């Protein structure tokens, strides 16, 4: 049984149907990516899974349980955390306060251990612990968004455009850390505009077009697909 099963979900923004029957799976400890052009439903898929944009039809199951109608804050408690596109750090709060918010529904000594783990993954956050998040660089804010999600101790971490707006050297560091997180046992569902980075990081991938999955395969096979190369890889 897959850790995450998304079965034929639809989602709407008012009268606009953003998702038109998306299905995908993520296995325990796996990295899966969604690739596609802007506006095809990648972020909406993550938002539907996390409960922020509830699916209007279809089913979402996590660890064998139906979470289709579970509120967003309860989805986090079930073991799914989202680092959203644009980071959305709380700019007037310090790095430490942002990280503490990631664990706001948790109690006990494990929180301190997770904080140490985030600081080990992102030493820059430790250096900036008392700095206001809004005064940090884009790369540092991306580290903070991922770190905040990890403070929920997720079984599945969803990352929405982690490389957006970052210099190549910072993108490389972010993706090295994503690999470290995955090797610790956390499954990852990755939305990424840069298909090269995404397919390098992932085991499998799904290609979305206008709210539908049009192609699904192992990352290596997607990379070799002529249509994928022409549309997303610049070859």
Show pLDDT as tens, one digit a residue, over the chain (235 residues): 799 999 999 999 999 999 999 999 999 999 999 999 989 999 999 999 999 999 999 999 999 999 999 999 999 999 999 998 877 899 999 999 999 999 987 777 889 999 999 999 999 999 999 999 999 998 899 999 999 999 999 999 999 999 888 888 888 888 999 999 999 999 999 998 889 889 999 999 999 999 999 999 999 999 999 999 988 886 6
Give the DSSP H or E segment for 214.
strand 212-218
Helix, strand and coil content of the chain, in percent to the nearest 5, comes to 40, 25, 35
List, in sequence order, every residue forming a beta bridge with 24; answer none if it has no partner: 6
Edge to edge, the sheet with strand 212-218 lists 80-83, 156-160, 187-191, 31-35, 204-209, 212-218
| 73 burial via Cβ count (<10 Å: 0-12, 13-18, 19+) | exposed
User: Are the CB atoms for 173 and 179 separated by under 8 Å?
Assistant: no
pLDDT at residue 167, as a whole number: 84
pLDDT at residue 235, as a whole number: 60
The CATH superfamily label for domain 4-88+156-233 reads: P-loop containing nucleotide triphosphate hydrolases (3.40.50.300)
Distance CA 152, CA 216 (A): 30
pLDDT at residue 168, as a whole number: 86
Q: What is the DSSP code string of 177-196?
A: HHHHHHHTT-EEEEE-S-HH
Q: What is the dihedral of CA 42, 203, 67, 97, to 10 degrees?
A: -80
Q: Domain limits of the chain?
A: 4-88+156-233
pLDDT at residue 147, as a whole number: 95
pLDDT at residue 108, as a whole number: 78
Instruction: Give Cβ neighbours of residue 16 (< 8 Å, ≥ 6 apart).
Output: none
pLDDT at residue 55, as a whole number: 97
Distance CA 159, CA 43 (A): 9
pLDDT at residue 191, as a whole number: 95
Distance CA 147, CA 180 (A): 13
User: Are the CB atoms for 127 and 167 separated by under 8 Å?
Assistant: no
The two counts, helices (H) then strands (E), for the chain are 10, 10
């Amino acid at each position: 049984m897959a850790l995450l099963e998304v079965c034929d979900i639809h989602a709407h923004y008012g009268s606009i149907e953003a998702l038109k029957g998306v299905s995908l799976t993520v296995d325990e400890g796996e990295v899966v990516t969604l690739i596609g052009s802007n506006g095809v439903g990648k972020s909406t898929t993550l938002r539907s899974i996390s409960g922020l944009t509830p699916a209007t039809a279809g089913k979402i199951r996590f660890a064998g349980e139906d979470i289709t109608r579970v509120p967003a804050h309860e989805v986090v408690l079930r073991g799914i955390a989202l680092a959203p596109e644009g980071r959305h750090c709380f700019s007037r709060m310090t790095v430490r306060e942002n990280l503490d918010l990631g664990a706001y529904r948790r109690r006990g000594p494990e929180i301190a251990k997770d904080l140490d783990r985030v600081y080990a993954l992102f030493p820059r956050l430790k250096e900036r612990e008392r700095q206001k998040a809004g005064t940090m660089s884009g790369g540092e804010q991306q580290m903070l968004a991922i770190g905040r999600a990890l403070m929920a101790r997720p079984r599945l971490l969803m990352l929405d455009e982690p490389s957006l707006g970052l210099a190549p050297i910072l993108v490389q560091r972010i993706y090295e850390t994503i690999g470290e997180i995955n090797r610790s046992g956390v499954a990852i569902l990755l939305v990424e505009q840069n298909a090269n980075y995404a397919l390098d990081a992932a085991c499998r991938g799904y290609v979305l077009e206008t709210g539908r999955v049009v192609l699904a395969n192992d990352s290596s096979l997607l990379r070799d697909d002529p249509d994928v190369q022409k549309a997303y890889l610049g070859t």
